[in-house]
Structure 1
Amino acid sequence: MEAASVAEEFAALYGREPEGVWQAPGRINLIGEHTDYNDGFVLPVALPHAARVAVARRDDGLVRVHSSQGDGAVVEFTVDSLAPRSVAGWAAYPAGALWVLREDGHPVPGIDLHLDSDVPFGAGLSSSAALQCAVLLALDELLGLGIERPRLARLAQRAENDYVGAPVGVMDQTASLCCTEGAALFLDTRDMAQRQVPLDLAAAGLVLLVVDTRVEHGHADGAYRRRREGCERSADLLGVKALRDVEAAGGRELDVLLARLPEEELRRLTRHVVTENARVREAVGLLDAGELRSLGPVLTAGHASQRDDFAISCPQSDAAVDTALAAGALGARQTGGGFGGCVIVLTEPAQVPGITAAVTAAYAAQDGWNAPAFFTATPAPGARRLR
């Protein structure tokens, strides 16, 4: 999917040339799930898969958007009509980008937009954030706004929270906008401090295999929201601003702290966030030291915490993790918001055929499971203009 083909499809749709083509990538998260809305730490990596948008401004306030992955229809609405949830489906994301810029005090014109994306939808790889970030970057550059990328990520998060209605944190948007090629992004979501941590898998003789469980997940549903609300309640009961502020050494110290919470569910949610923040920092230390092989057990421990404490795994994800480990992987975990999506597997290249065959066979043995899909992930650049 080259920029030229996206521009050509735009011209065929709208009868004029776009003013430019922009792209923003999807992401995987090495470690740090559900820590971002708790003011914690995350370690995402941008994927080569990206949402690409061709855009041109209009002077009549009309917005026309079209997706190669949609039903073929051009969705139309006006800038003046924008209000939370006033546009549904995939078009809510470009609508939300326009809405949030207007809410931030910027004059927003109508636009024509054509989207072509190869980020798998519903796979936990941030297809929605990629689309929204591509549109926001295009508008920022076309309108000469000069918004810094961490701020642009916050605007994208607000659009998804307040316009779309999904209570997500800021990791996905920041990864899409700020990741660099060949590195993982160590992000402190409280103050948006960030550092690019080199991630040269090939030099270490390793690959990251991504297993798409083919179980779609969604962030705008009640399960995700209930966990976020539970984390916020736990922080309030513990007298801290966010669970990021719970600094327990683990073991008995953590158990004593958790005993202050009145419900087992709150204790489990809190234990996951506290230990997951520690795993992010441990992972960064290993990458800094060049000890990439030692990352495997950290990933696997993260999956156990998602499964047992945060309760966001699913049978397909658990099967992919367990089967990959049994087939020789160094570590594996579910990545993304949970309830399906993708599993990442850290392994040697020679183990990939055996792992893919074993996971495929494990899925085939279960009635009603979709066949998994596989690809290897390499750290890619963040959002940018293509032409």
Structure 2
Amino acid sequence: MSAQEAIPVFTNLTDLYASLGTSLNHAERWNNLAEEFEKRFGKQPTYIARAPGRVNLIGEHIDYALFGVLPAAIERDILIAVAPRDVPPSSPTAETHHAPGSVIAENLHPKYTRQVFAPAPKAKPANVDDEVHVEGWHLEIPQELRWENYVKAGYYGVLEEHFTGAAVHPIPVDLLVTGSVPAGSGLSSSAAMVVASTLAFLAINGKLEGADKVAKGELVKMSMENEKRVGVNSGGMDQAASVMSVPSSVLYITFYPSLTASPTPLPPGAVLVCAHSLKVSDKALTAKRGYNLRVVETLVGARALARSLNIPVGTREKITLREVVGRLVEEADVGKGGAGMSADALAEVLERVRGAVEALKPPGGTEANEFGATLEEMVRLSGLGEAEFREVYLSWVEVDATHFKLYKRAKHVYSEALRVLQFRKLCLDTAAAPAAEGADGVAVLKQLGQLMNDSQTSCADDFECSCEELDELTRLAREAGAYGSRLTGAGWGGCTVSLVPEAEVASFIKKVSETYAPYKGLEGEALSEVIFATRPSTGACVYKFD
């Protein structure tokens, strides 16, 4: 898939709805948004920008180790209707909504209030000639997880990319947001919000059409940077899945030696079912013992493993587990813009490296202490002095632990990376031999399901990013007839994803909803908010009104 592909701009609703999938009544949602926009702002929108959430089928906590993952866009999405706002020349610019580039933002959800904000050109240095154009913008974006901050983040990226140094200011706009991606579920509602916001401001300022139109790859990069402005660092998986996905396929996203994405057709006969555990993990509160700690453990594990394999590592280099296997086989031309080893070659190396990971078990380690290394042992395994170690691995992140489980984390990363490649190969082989139906087709789906189950086991036992609720929900999903079920997203709460026979989706959802205790009493729309079917959907797009 080329990152140079244009972002789809639809002018025909039939074509638009046909591209989005079948599980939601898309026409009703889009029409309702347009009608509500007209009620609130007295005009029809000029564009509706759409960005889907994503579900990661397999490949958890390995993207920051630079291994490939297999997410898919889901049908649930963020929609933003937008139109220019006329501001008479005589309007007092001291009022925010009259200022150049001002935004009046509303949300269909009644708990969110109207927000009004405007960017301001950065003050020009005194020694700069008046003929020189604006060289930057200021737009206050508190690092708080509030809906309007994601809108601002998308806007700021467009300002910096397309209006820095420009003689023309962005136009004032009105916008209305709605979404069907459950927040805090691990389905990347935040990334979808930033992508949709970025896309809406690009569209309304004429950056999606003409010779200089923004391509998919550019939108991914912009959205990654934009999301950092609300304090969320990302390796690009969420944004790439939201922008570059195609229907009926998962997206194989690799990060080394560069970010690439290619569709992998999912075999027919199964549907994805997402189920929220209703356990919400606050990353900000748990990061020191959760996400941040895992990042440090995998990085230190990579250095320690490299040393055991006599692979040179720079003193201040934070080598990743993916780079270790590349250097192990002297991967050609990676530092010179090369594509790196093939997927088949990488799978072979991952098979070989399994035994080498045993070197990360601390001396005298037993199952009882789960192979945890003390800080002193970890420093020794790294080959650095304590001051150097703290500077390289602990000066930029807060962690809270007495023992660091380098062996178990590396074991998960390498086994999970191999499962991703095996899952992808099964899908590609099936697509190359489409006659495999009936019993053969079911056999393939069962193999894919087993890889998902093995992933869940590894996430729970080796990476320890599951929780009681996710363990219970995946168990109930398998008992209800899923081929496979696993957590998706960072874990410690959030959603599961299950591969379910197409003909049994309704009965599957009924069984799970009746057996998972936190769903007791939920029905109708409330139930469909926490457990729902989806097919891999198309990526971000825009509808242009006449």
Matched, 1:196 2:263: yes
Matched, 1:10 2:37: yes
Residues 299 and 333, structure 1, Cα contact 8 Å, conserved in 2: yes
Comparing 232-241 with 360-369, which one deviates more in the overlay? 360-369
1:244 alignment counterpart = 322
2:340 alignment counterpart = none
Aligned pair in 2 of structure 1 residues 121, 87: CA closer, same or farther (>3 Å)? closer
Structure 1 residue identity aligned to 2:356: E
Matched, 1:333 2:360: no
Q: Distance in 1 between the 2:112 and 2:480 partners?
A: 43
Aligned pair in 2 of structure 1 residues 366, 26: CA closer, same or farther (>3 Å)? closer
1:26 alignment counterpart = 53
Residues 354 and 414, structure 2, Cα contact 8 Å, conserved in 1: no
Aligned pair in 2 of structure 1 residues 119, 365: CA closer, same or farther (>3 Å)? closer
Q: Distance in 2 between the 1:270 and 1:133 partners?
A: 32
Give the CA deviation at 1:14. 2.6
Structure 2 residue identity aligned to 1:254: V
2:174 alignment counterpart = 112
Q: Distance in 1 between the 2:361 and 2:67 partners?
A: 18
Name the % identity.
29
Q: TM-score, normalised by structure 2?
A: 0.64
Matched, 1:210 2:274: yes
1:77 maps to which of 113, 117, 123 = 117
Comparing 92-101 with 173-182, which one deviates more in the overlay? 92-101
1:277 maps to which of 413, 417, 423 = 417
Gapped runs of 5+ residues in structure 1? Answer: none
Matched, 1:183 2:237: no
* Residue correspondences, number: 383
Q: Deviations over 1:117-176 (max 9, x none)?
A: 111122111111111111212223333252332232122122222x11123331111101
Q: Distance in 1 between the 2:482 and 2:510 partners?
A: 13
Aligned pairs for 1:1-387 within 5 A: 1-57=28-84, 60-80=100-120, 81-85=138-142, 89-104=146-161, 106-107=163-164, 109=170, 110-143=172-205, 144=207, 146-161=213-228, 163-190=229-256, 191-202=258-269, 206-221=270-285, 222=287, 223-237=290-304, 238=306, 239=313, 241-247=319-325, 248-249=350-351, 250-256=353-359, 262=381, 264-290=404-430, 291-349=444-502, 352=505, 355-364=508-517, 373-387=530-544
Give the CA deviation at 1:196. 0.8
Residues 78 and 180, structure 2, Cα contact 8 Å, conserved in 1: yes
SS in 2 for 1:47: strand
Aligned pair in 2 of structure 1 residues 362, 288: CA closer, same or farther (>3 Å)? same
SS in 2 for 1:76: strand
Task: Give the structure with the larger strand fraction.
Answer: 1
Q: Distance in 2 between the 1:129 and 1:243 partners?
A: 26
Q: Deviations over 1:216-245 (max 9, x none)?
A: 334444233333343344445544632222
Structure 1 residue identity aligned to 2:266: L
Structure 2 residue identity aligned to 1:177: V
Structure 2 residue identity aligned to 1:6: L
Comparing 141-150 with 34-43, which one deviates more in the overlay? 141-150
Aligned pair in 2 of structure 1 residues 13, 367: CA closer, same or farther (>3 Å)? closer
Aligned pair in 2 of structure 1 residues 360, 7: CA closer, same or farther (>3 Å)? closer
Q: Distance in 2 between the 1:289 and 1:342 partners?
A: 29
Give the CA deviation at 1:112. 2.1
SS in 1 for 2:259: coil
Comparing 244-253 with 31-40, which one deviates more in the overlay? 244-253
Q: Deviations over 1:40-96 (max 9, x none)?
A: 211111111111111234562322211112524211222125144267511111111
Aligned pair in 2 of structure 1 residues 171, 361: CA closer, same or farther (>3 Å)? same
Structure 1 residue identity aligned to 2:234: V
Aligned pair in 2 of structure 1 residues 55, 343: CA closer, same or farther (>3 Å)? same
Structure 2 residue identity aligned to 1:299: M
Aligned pair in 2 of structure 1 residues 87, 365: CA closer, same or farther (>3 Å)? closer
Q: Distance in 2 between the 1:35 and 1:177 partners?
A: 21
Residues 141 and 152, structure 2, Cα contact 8 Å, conserved in 1: no
Structure 2 residue identity aligned to 1:242: T
Residues 102 and 119, structure 2, Cα contact 8 Å, conserved in 1: yes
Give the CA deviation at 1:186. 0.6
Structure 1 residue identity aligned to 2:543: L
Aligned pair in 2 of structure 1 residues 361, 21: CA closer, same or farther (>3 Å)? closer
Aligned pair in 2 of structure 1 residues 380, 98: CA closer, same or farther (>3 Å)? same
Q: Distance in 1 between the 2:69 and 2:467 partners?
A: 22
Aligned pair in 2 of structure 1 residues 307, 173: CA closer, same or farther (>3 Å)? same
Aligned pair in 2 of structure 1 residues 232, 367: CA closer, same or farther (>3 Å)? farther
Structure 1 residue identity aligned to 2:100: D
Aligned pair in 2 of structure 1 residues 69, 218: CA closer, same or farther (>3 Å)? farther
Aligned pair in 2 of structure 1 residues 86, 224: CA closer, same or farther (>3 Å)? closer
Give the CA deviation at 1:337. 1.8
Give the CA deviation at 1:361. 4.3
Q: Distance in 2 between the 1:86 and 1:335 partners?
A: 25
Structure 1 residue identity aligned to 2:45: P
Give the CA deviation at 1:355. 4.3
